[in-house]
Amino acid sequence: MIILRAFRLFLVLTLLTGIIYPIGVTIAAKILFPESAGGSIVVCNGIPAGSALLAQQFASPRYFHPRPSAADFRTLPSGASNQGVTSTMLRQAVQERARDLCIAHALPFDAPVPPDLLFASGSGLDPHISPAAMVFQMERVARERGFTTQQRARLEQLAHEFIEPPQFGFMGEPRVNVLLLNVALDAL
C-alpha cells in the first residue's frame, strides 16, 4: 500500500517537475525572451558568428581580444583556474600575458595593462572586457587594419557605442561585448 502510494507520487512529481515544468518554462522563455532563449546567437552575413553570451577566441591582431580563459574558451570544462594570489603559476601566467600584450601593442614592458586582460574570469567564458581594456587595444587594432586618421576616429566612436552600462543601472561595471564589437568592426 505505501509502496504503491510512493510510486504514484514518484510518477506525479516526475510528470510535473521533469516534463510539464521544463516545457512550460521553455515556452514562456521563447515567448518573453526569444533572443536569449535561443542562445543570443550573433549572425553575420547569414552565418552564425557566435553567442553574445560566451567569449570567443580572437587571435588575430586585427580584432579586439577578450579576457584570457582558464578553459581555453571551451564550454564543457569552463571554470576558474583555482590559482590564488600566492600561486607561482598564476604570477608567471600574468607576467607572460603582460609581456605579450606590451609586445603586441609596442609598449614598454612596465606599461600599465588593464587587469581584465591579465586575469581570466571566474567562468573563463566572460564575453565582456572593461572600457579600459577596449581603449588599451584600440591603437593595435587601428594599426593592424591600416586605418587612416579619419578611420581611427570612426573606430573610436564605434567602440564607445558598444560600452554597456552596469546592469539595471547599478549592478556591476560598464563593459564591452567583444564579439559584438568585432562584428561591427568588420562591418566598418
- How much is the pLDDT for 44? 83
Domain range enclosing 14: 1-38
DSSP state of 20: I
In single-letter form, the type of residue at position 62 comes to R
Specify whether 3 is located in the same domain as 51.
no
The list of the chain residues with pLDDT below 50 reads none
Distance of CA 42 to the CA centre of its chain: 13
- How much is the pLDDT for 52? 84
Specify whether 45 is located in the same domain as 10.
no
Specify whether 31 is located in the same domain as 63.
no
- How much is the pLDDT for 7? 94
**How many CB atoms neighbour CB 117 within 10 A?**
21
The phi and psi torsions of 43 (rounded to 5 degrees) equal -105, 130
Total number of domains constituting the chain: 2
In single-letter form, the type of residue at position 35 comes to E
- How much is the pLDDT for 120? 84
- How much is the pLDDT for 173? 93
C-alpha pair distances (Å), 25 with each of 15, 28, 30: 14, 5, 9
Specify whether 13 is located in the same domain as 44.
no
- How much is the pLDDT for 86? 86
* C-alpha span between 179 and 181 (Å, rounded): 5
Specify whether 68 is located in the same domain as 126.
yes
C-alpha pair distances (Å), 57 with each of 19, 85, 86, 95, 107: 36, 25, 28, 20, 23
Specify whether 146 is located in the same domain as 69.
yes
- How much is the pLDDT for 136? 95
Residues linked to residue 167 through DSSP beta bridges, in sequence order: 171
Specify whether 88 is located in the same domain as 20.
no
Specify whether 9 is located in the same domain as 45.
no
Specify whether 47 is located in the same domain as 7.
no
- How much is the pLDDT for 20? 96
Q: Nearest to residue 70, comparing CAs of 78, 62, 61? A: 78
- How much is the pLDDT for 157? 93
* C-alpha span between 44 and 39 (Å, rounded): 15
Specify whether 94 is located in the same domain as 134.
yes
